[in-house]
Amino acid sequence: LQHSSQRHSINQTMDAIARVKRLSIEGNIAVGKSTFARLLSNAGRNWEVTPEPVSKWQNVEEAISQIRQPLPSPQQTAGNLLQMMYQDPKRWSYTFQTFSCMSRMRTQLQPPPVQLLQAGDVAVQVYERSIYSDRYIFAQNMFELGGINSTEWAVYQDWHSFLVEQFGPKVQLEGIIYLRAPPQTCMERLTRRGREEEQGIQLDYLETLHKQHENWFINKSTKVHFEHLKNIPVLVLDGSLEFESDSEMQTKFITEVTNFLQ
């Protein structure tokens, strides 16, 4: 009996997964992903948007203690990993990628909220970045820049592939929204927002990240290892437009996303 009810609930879960479309928003640092994500969540549709957990990387101790018991060594507290990564990329990039990917994995494994599934038609879960851009944009870029050495890169790819294969459909995406803008525009926005950890970022770093985005989403030259990503639909939106205060542009974007989901 217990066995059949368990099977029933697995079927229900699989059914729920089948009725949900999962998208990630991708784009360079400071292009406006969070603003765009807010726009989608305020659009009042059957869309759930999960922001990127930047604050967790800024305070690792607190992030971990929310999930499990505090760390056993009280003499030293876990710090601001985002800052550590920017200050000493060779020492901290691999550690950063393990933590960012773990937090993205947790986000993508969250089941859709019940109210989203009860609302009738296909529900949409939207993530800011994903476990895939963690690998094919950031970790790959860090490897190419020398922040991650070839041993770390091999180890990263090994556990990343293993986890993605183990979790299967639960962490798959059905589409990607690429918010595209020149690196110079992102640099200006980054300077304007003044996030402390990012003050040392130079334009050439944004250019390397831009190239990674372009290779994957426009030139399609990035080698992706997961079948479901090989022909994944990509919606390219012009992120150079200042859409935050332009309601006409916002309506246009929402329409484009709605059409993309059809």
Using the rule CB under 6 A, is 148 a contact of ligand DGT?
no
Which tokens belong to 14?
Answer: 């699989």
Q: Which is nearer to ligand DGT, 47 or 127 (CB)?
A: 127
Using the rule CB under 6 A, is 33 a contact of ligand DGT?
yes
Active site residue 256: no
Q: Which is nearer to ligand DGT, 51 or 175 (CB)?
A: 51
Distance between CA atoms of 155 and 139, rounded to whole angstroms? 12
Binding characters for ligand DGT, 166-195, by CB under 6 A (x = yes): ------------------------------
Query: Is residue 120 helix, strand or coil?
Result: coil
Using the rule CB under 6 A, is 99 a contact of ligand DGT?
no
23, 29, 105, 164: which one binds ligand DGT (CB under 6 A) = 29
Q: Which is nearer to ligand DGT, 40 or 85 (CB)?
A: 85
Q: Are 23 and 173 in contact (CB under 8 A)?
A: yes
Using the rule CB under 6 A, is 136 a contact of ligand DGT?
no
Alpha-carbon distances of 179 from 154, 190, 217, 222, 248, rounded to whole Å: 29, 15, 10, 18, 17
Q: Are 49 and 41 in contact (CB under 8 A)?
A: yes
**Do strands 175-180 and 20-26 pair parallel, antiparallel, or not at all (unpaired)?**
parallel
99, 127, 136, 138: which one binds ligand DGT (CB under 6 A) = 138
Distance between CA atoms of 240 and 72, rounded to whole angstroms? 46
In whole angstroms, what separates CA 24 from the centre of its chain?
Answer: 6
Q: Which is nearer to ligand DGT, 174 or 198 (CB)?
A: 198
Query: Is residue 123 helix, strand or coil?
Result: strand
- Residue in 26, 48, 52, 128 annotated catalytic: 128
Q: How far is the CB of 198 from ligand DGT (least distance, A)?
A: 5
Q: Are 92 and 46 in contact (CB under 8 A)?
A: no
* Torsion angle defined by CA atoms of residues 89, 92, 95 and 96, in that order, rounded to the nearest 10 degrees: -50
DSSP character at residue 78? -
Using the rule CB under 6 A, is 32 a contact of ligand DGT?
yes
Q: How far is the CB of 23 from ligand DGT (least distance, A)?
A: 15
Residues that bind ligand DGT (CB under 6 A): 27, 29-34, 52, 54, 82, 85, 93, 96-97, 100, 129, 134, 138, 142, 198
- Catalytic positions, please? 128
